[in-house]
Amino acid sequence: MIVLEGRTALVTGGSRGIGRATALMLAEAGADVGVTCRSRRADAEAVAQEIRGRGRRAFVGMGDHGDPDTMPRVIREVTTAFGGLDILVVNAGVWPPRAVPLREMHPEQWASTCRSNLDAVFHTVRAALPVLRPGTGRIILVGSTAGQRGEGGHADYAATKGALLALTRSLAVECAPDLTVNCVAPGWVDTEMTTEALTGPERTRALVGIPLGRIATPEDIAGPIVFLASDLARHMTGSVVSVNGGSVLAG
């Protein structure tokens, strides 16, 4: 029922994990899809090749998303390549895996996380707002369960993801009625970023807090994102969709 024929999309951080799964699912639904990466060009090009293999146009943009000049350039390039933009999935971000209490956190770590997870979102969305097509325009931010309930030892990450929840609601009001703005908040997801944190006994501890009893796959998160990008979600805006196996309920 989700048909995105004739729509164009850009997924930031699309070279792996949730971003890759989302890009491919958007293409399966009929959209032309661009992906961005910071440095993993070969991985991003491989995703683009898979998109083309599904009969869709693809685009790859590269650069430091936290640089004020990068995403405006990428938005211009993808809009030129596709002739317009309908769907923006803001997925790129970082999660420093080592737990560090705030009192021990170096200001450089705090600033780096904020640059990647919040400043980059500002630059990306601000650049895309003038070109997203009214009516079909969709913005989906990728937040986190950590932003909903906090995460000890990862205050920098939780703070930036919590800010995205407020940003979602603020933008939803600003962009109505032309665009919808929603957020997907994943819990634990099996990706390269979480490999270290979900090894051995740590994985067992994570599973205890998930009522559905398993760690999400990237596709588990991509599905709700693609739903929010579709006309089935046309009356949803300012929503935060939790995709965490019930872990917030168990918390």
Rg (CA), the chain: 17
Eight-class DSSP state of 119? I
Q: Which residues make beta-bridge pairs with 90?
A: 141
Please report where in the chains the tokens 């030892």 appear, as a residue: 153
How many helices (H) and strands (E) in the chain? 10, 7
6: left (phi over 0), alpha (psi -120 to 50) or beta: left
Q: Which of 82, 157, 188, 227 is catalytic?
A: 157
Asked if 34 and 71 count as a contact pair (C-beta separation under 8 A), the reply is no
- DSSP letter string over 167-188? HHHHHHHHHTTTEEEEEEEE-S
Please say if 248 is a catalytic residue: no
Distance CA 38, CA 72 (A): 14
Cα-Cα-Cα-Cα torsion 112, 118, 119, 122, nearest 10 degrees, comes to 170
Q: What is the largest CA-CA distance in the chain?
A: 52
> What amino acid positions are annotated as catalytic residues?
157
